[in-house]
Each structure stands twice: as C-alpha cells, then as structure tokens.
Amino acid sequence: MIEKVNFIKEDQIFSLLEKGKITDKNEIREILAKARDCRGINLEEVAKLLYLEDEELLNELYDAAKYIKDRIYGKRVVLFAPLYTSNECTNNCLYCGFRHDNKELHRRTLSLEEIVNEAKALERQGHKRLLLICGEDPRKTNVKHFTDAMDAIYKATDIRRINIEAAPMTVEDYKELKKAGIGTYVIFQETYHRETYKIMHPVGMKANYDWRITAIDRAFEAGIDDVGVGALLGLYNYRFEVLGLLMHCMHFEEKFGVGPHTISVPRLRPALGGALKEVPYNVSDKDFKKIVAIFRIAVPYTGIILSTRERAEFRDELLSVGISQISAGSKTNPGGYEEDDDHADQFEISDNRSLPKMMETICQKGYIPSFCTACYRRCRTGENFMEYAKAGDIHEFCQPNAILTFKENLMDYADESLRKMGEEIILKALEEIDDDKMRTLTIAKLDEIEKGKRD
Ligand code: SAM
Ligand code: SF4
C-alpha cells in the first residue's frame, strides 16, 4: 500500500494563484530583474508571472528567459529522438492513442532485433541520443525489456546515451536500469491535480496518483540521479500545473538535494482512438510560450525539452525563450523508422522535419545543434551537474562539447550545404568561448575530428 503524498499542496497552489492575480508592472519588473541573477524565483513570484497578459511585459519575460538560457547553457540545442518499443498498454488514459480500449490501434511490441534496427535507422540519420518509450504492460515491457534493449543498442550502435520514459517501477527495477546504463529516467505526472488525475486515468496501474508521483523518489533511491518530469498541458488549468510541477521539483531538492535534470512541456494532441472529444483546458500558443519562459527562469539550471507535438514555426520561436533540448525526425509508432503505420501512433506529430532540416534551422537561428553526451561520460550528472550549472559554469563545457559533436555530425552525415553552414556556426561559436585555454583545446580537437578521430 502506497501512502498518500503531501508534497503537492493543492490548497497552497490555489491560494498562490489567488494572490498572484494582483500585481503591478513594477513588481513584475522586480521579479524579472531578480531572475537575471540565475538563481531561480519562488512560487509566489511564479504565480504572478503566470497571469501576465501585457505584451510589453511578456516581451521582457522572454528577454529574461533568453538571457538566462544563453548565460547558463551557451548557444547549444541538444537533439534526440524517441524510439517507441511497444504500443501495448493495460491502462486507459483517456487522452492517449495507446489506451487499452482503443480497438482501432495496430498493437505491436518490437523484438530485440527490431529495436536495434530502429536504433540503427536513427543512427543513420545522425542521432546519438535516444529516448526509449512504450505503453505499460508488465507482460510485454517489464524492466528486462528495457535492460535488454539498452544492452543491445549500446553494443550494436554508436548511440551514446539512452534515456527511458516508462511507467513507475520498484527501487529494485530502477537499480537494474541504472546498472544497464540509463541516461535520464523520464516520467510525466500528466496532471498534478488529483481530481483530474482520477478522471483521466480511470483504470489500470496508472490510476494510482501516489504510486506515479513517487516514482522519481524510488529512482533516486536506486541511484539514478538524472530524472525528467512533465505535465501534459491541456488536462487542467496550466497555472495550477506549473506550480504543481515546481512543488514536485522542490520536493526533490529538499529530499535528495538535487532538482530534476529536465522538464518536458508536452501539450495535448489529437490521438486516433483517444477518448477525449476536446481538450479540457486548452492552452494557447501565447500561454505555452509564457510557460516555457517561466520554467526557464524559475529553475534556470534545468534542461527544458520540446517535442514534435508542436508546429515547426512555433518550435523555432520557442528556441529563443529557453528550450535546451529538442526532438527531431520523430515517429510515435513502434517500428516507425523502418515503416509507417498511421494506425499505430500514440498521437499526431506536428513537426515532421528531418534531423538535418532541424539542424539547419537551429543554425539559422544562431544556435549550435549538439549531440553532446559528455556530461554523462565525465560524471557530471545529478548533484554534480547542478553544481556546475548553478555556478553558471556549465556552458564552459556545453559550448565546446556542442561544437565538437556538431563537427562529428557534419563530417559523418551532412550534405554540402549543411556542412558549409555548420562550419560558419562553429567559427562563430569558437569566438564565444571566453577561456583561451579551452578555445585552443577545442580547436585542437576539431582538427583531430577532421582527421578522422571520434569521441
Ligand atoms: N506509458 C508510459 C506512461 O504513461 O508513463 C510511458 C510514456 S507515454 C507513451 C508518453 C507520454 O505521452 C505520456 O506520459 C503522456 O504525457 C503523453 N501523451 C499521451 N497521449 C498524448 C496525446 N494525445 N498528446 C500529447 N501527449 C500525449
Ligand atoms: Fe498507456 Fe502511457 Fe498511453 Fe497511458 S499514456 S495509455 S499508460 S501509453
């Protein structure tokens, strides 16, 4: 029996939201000035920003978010792709195409060989980081499914980091994931509002709010120190979700001394065979952009992940308000990188651009596409990572690593035009490395890559 958690204080969230409604421009500007110290802001301040509607102040919020992202992370944008290993599921989440009662869905769990083929297909596109995802069906996708998949992919490909997004597990299972070399463990609470959670998850293991919200605690206890959180935007009032998610982060800080490595911002999409006829709490683009910027300034040291649920032009716009990781070329059906099946998708994707196309756009926006996994290989994870990030030092590593992994990609996968554009970006990015020694070292390593050396 799992105990009812008390770290998401709904009464407090409602009271913060009530107080947050009354603010004046000066107060908002003071909050934004404080945010620029890159030490985060408190929940009262977040609540106030969540009510911003004034265009002038919103632009000041976006400027602050951009300033913080550039200062902490440099210009890099990390790229990855999801790899769906199964769409079989015993739950019935009303919003999801994989839900058990969706009889229209073509169900499929990939064999190990098929999983490796998918990973190879992504590797051929130039990917180095994958996110394994599937439905929740203990008979098909238990912990062994993941550890076998990780073993096989690490052995058969040059994929350097495998993150996993999966249903809650026991501490023992998380220890197995850790042993097999998991990168980040990701799980979305979907909604922090208990009543809504109950409606959206009527049956199955996922019906238990407390078992799900304590999943990350168990992952930490098992020694996984990079974790990712998220709320599915559109299920309930977004202002409540943002505060709920930040309370969740504060709980980790208090109990484990470290916040989450990433926050994802999934927004509800149409799903074939989903049971929701409309989005219960529609989140407009304007509000979505505000949410991303607020997360960036509230928890500056946490990566923010944007998926292909969002439209291409909008994704490009969001890069400037604090997104630090982005998926590209994604498919949401198991086996999707080998063959399409629109009756096996979890939800509809909005941005269908390929990885090279996405890289081109990132370059055009003045950012550096990164395939960096150096933090993990050099043990800058969890608390360690946060120390660097909080001291504002992480870009000292991110910028050179982004440059080097981008260069590898350009040499190994890019066509003539992307390579030319990329080389120009690299030259500019080198100039932005403040530390002379680090710049010289990076130039020497670029030379080695040119000669064929790989990390
Ligand atoms: N089955 C596991 C679980 O529920 O935690 C693994 C992740 S599930 C395949 C991936 C995530 O997709 C869910 O946590 C949910 O937030 C999101 N999702 C489900 N249906 C969606 C939809 N219609 N639009 C956008 N995101 C959706
Ligand atoms: Fe299954 Fe996850 Fe979809 Fe829920 S969100 S139906 S648990 S795959």
Residue found under tokens 């055009």: 364
pLDDT confidence tier of residue 71, bands split at 50, 70 and 90 = confident
Burial class (CB within 10 angstroms; exposed 0-12, middle 13-18, buried 19+) of 11: exposed
Pocket probe mutation, ligand 2, options 102, 133, 136, max atoms within 8 Å of Cβ:
136
The pLDDT value given to residue 219:
98
Could you tell me the distance, in angstroms and rounded to a whole number, from the CA of residue 87 to the centre of ligand 2? 8
Neighbours of 391 (CB within 10 A): 12
Maximum C-alpha span of the chain: 61
Could you tell me the distance, in angstroms and rounded to a whole number, from the CA of residue 96 to the centre of ligand 1? 6
Pocket probe mutation, ligand 1, options 87, 102, 188, max atoms within 8 Å of Cβ:
188
- Name 262's bridge partners: 228, 303
In angstroms, the CA 163 to CA 230 distance is 15
Residue found under tokens 């200062």: 71
Q: In this prediction, what percent of the chain has a pLDDT beyond 70?
A: 95
* Sequence-separated (6 or more) residues with CB below 8 Å from residue 415: 356
Residue 204 Cα: closest atom of ligand 2:
7
In angstroms, the CA 449 to CA 184 distance is 27
Q: Which amino acid is at 344?
A: A
Residue 89 Cα: closest atom of ligand 2:
1
Instruction: Say if strands 161-165 and 182-186 run parallel, antiparallel, or are unpaired.
Output: parallel
The pLDDT value given to residue 74:
80
Residue 265 in contact with ligand 1 by CB distance below 6 A: no
Residue 271 in contact with ligand 1 by CB distance below 6 A: yes
The pLDDT value given to residue 393:
53
Residue 182 in contact with ligand 1 by CB distance below 6 A: no
In angstroms, the CA 29 to CA 24 distance is 9
Pocket probe mutation, ligand 2, options 99, 212, 307, max atoms within 8 Å of Cβ:
99
Residue 241 in contact with ligand 1 by CB distance below 6 A: no
Which residue has the least CA distance to atom 20 on ligand 1? 96
Kindly report, residue by residue over 24-63, the tens digit of the pLDDT: 999 999 999 999 999 999 999 999 999 999 999 999 999 9
Which residue has the least CA distance to atom 3 on ligand 1? 167
In angstroms, the CA 454 to CA 117 distance is 23
Q: Summarize the chain as % helix, strand, coil (round to 5).
A: 50, 10, 40
* Sequence-separated (6 or more) residues with CB below 8 Å from residue 158: 123, 128
Among 76-85, 255-264, 426-435, which stretch is predicted with the lowest mean pLDDT?
Answer: 426-435
pLDDT confidence tier of residue 372, bands split at 50, 70 and 90 = confident
Residue 402 in contact with ligand 1 by CB distance below 6 A: no
Which residue has the least CA distance to atom 6 on ligand 2? 99
* Sequence-separated (6 or more) residues with CB below 8 Å from residue 225: 258, 381, 382, 383
Q: In this prediction, what percent of the chain has a pLDDT beyond 90?
A: 84
Closest ligand by atom to 102 CA: 2
Q: Which amino acid is at 292?
A: V
Pocket probe mutation, ligand 1, options 84, 96, 213, max atoms within 8 Å of Cβ:
96
Provide residues with CB under 6 Å of ligand 2.
Answer: 89, 91, 93, 96, 98-99, 135-136, 206
* Sequence-separated (6 or more) residues with CB below 8 Å from residue 228: 163, 165, 184, 185, 186, 187, 260, 261, 262, 263, 264, 305
- Helix/strand/coil for 303: strand
* Sequence-separated (6 or more) residues with CB below 8 Å from residue 250: 7
Residue 269 in contact with ligand 1 by CB distance below 6 A: yes
Could you tell me the distance, in angstroms and rounded to a whole number, from the CA of residue 98 to the centre of ligand 2? 6
Burial call 77-104: b when 16+ CB within 10 Å, e when fewer: bbbbbbbbbbbbbbbbbbbbbbbbebee
Q: What is the mean pLDDT of residues 275-281?
A: 95
Could you give the ipTM of this predicted complex? 0.99
Could you tell me the distance, in angstroms and rounded to a whole number, from the CA of residue 104 to the centre of ligand 2? 15
The pTM score is: 0.94
pLDDT confidence tier of residue 385, bands split at 50, 70 and 90 = very low
In angstroms, the CA 230 to CA 452 distance is 39
Residue 435 DSSP code: -
In angstroms, the CA 304 to CA 296 distance is 7
